[in-house]
Amino acid sequence: MIRINLLPYREATRARRSQLFVLGLVGVLLLATLLYYGIYSIFAARVANEQEKVNYLQGVTKELDVKIASIADLRKKRDELLAREGIITRLQDQRDLVVRLFNTLAAITPKGVFLTHLQQTGSTITVNGYAQASDQVAAFMRHIEGSGVLTKPTLDIISKAQLAGDTVEQFTLQMQVVSPTAATDSTAKDAGAHP
């Protein structure tokens, strides 16, 4: 017996092709979705890794900022301590200045010179006195220059005066006090220059 297929085979073939097309399309979409998800996962992992690095660097930066602030604070304290040390050193150097000044004046004042008034303003000392002759005033000025404690003698006034019936020279002399640290520095330089 002969069998005749009365069903429309072209429509069945078309339906099969369309099913295969839809299956292929779904497969391609599924494959594209998996590919997109894979690429997204890779980039998301890289972004997360970079974000971890950024967070780590921000944490290290904050720690360094704290350390820098503490270093700045320590420098400020060091500068304050050095300033205090400088003040203490100056006070220590000037502690015996009056004694050294009077001892020096007593040692360098030549015979025949009498000091009547001494006034200090800062590092300038003004001395008033009498001398039997103007040579003695000149000798006094040379002694001042060589004393190491006093320097730069300047004769302001010298005039004739009567003292106990004698004619004497009345003078006013200004000089500078050498700070003890400057005197120590200059002696150290002189010692280094002359081995």
Between residues 41 and 125, the one the model is more confident about:
41
Share of the chain above pLDDT 90, in %: 34
Nearest one of 158, 152, 192, 191 to 174, comparing CA atoms:
152
pLDDT for residue 195:
44
pLDDT for residue 188:
47
Query: Whole-number mean pLDDT of the chain?
Result: 81
136 vs 104: CA distance, rounded Å = 17
pLDDT in tens, 174-187: 888 776 554 455 54
Q: At CA 92, angle to CA 88 and CA 93, rounded to 5?
A: 120
Nearest one of 160, 150, 155 to 173, comparing CA atoms:
155
Phi, psi of 179 (to 5 degrees): -65, 145
Burial class of residue 96, CB neighbours in 10 A (0-12, 13-18, 19+): exposed
69 vs 91: CA distance, rounded Å = 33
Question: Is the model's pLDDT at 51 over the cut of 90?
Answer: yes
pLDDT for residue 81:
93
pLDDT for residue 42:
94
- The whole-number average pLDDT for the span 100-118 is 79
